[in-house]
Structure 1
Amino acid sequence: MTRYLAPGGWSHALTNMADSSAVTELHRLLGEFFDECERDGVGRIFRDFQSWLTPQAWYQFATAEPDQIG
């Protein structure tokens, strides 16, 4: 079975066993995400993501120069 992973036709042929495992894992992860949304709200998910993102060496958040703030 072929699963299309992105618009535009890029695909990867999966065996039936791999396809079943991928769908099961996707279902589990989506369930985890929606449970987290219901329990603690989407805001917490974004705060956790920002806490993870900020210390990443490749992430450089540009701030305005003091004279640009007005």
Structure 2
Amino acid sequence: MPGSSPRVVWSRLVGREVLSDSGEWRHECEVEYLLSLPEAKRAESSTASAAPWTAKAKISGAFAARA
């Protein structure tokens, strides 16, 4: 949502709270996205430049299952 304030969220990668618009959170969401892909597809992706880091809610279950 444009104009809304960033939320504070827990990052499992850095082990502390971060802002939802921070680079740390974006990186975590990109990692979650890549982990949600099948291995063959993951190998094709050399970068996560197109990872939908704003779609965090859609893939959060995949990351939680790996915990």
TM-score with structure 1 setting the length: 0.27
**Highest CA radius of gyration, 1 or 2?**
1
Q: Which has the higher contact order (CA 8 A, sep 6+)?
A: 2
TM-score with structure 2 setting the length: 0.28
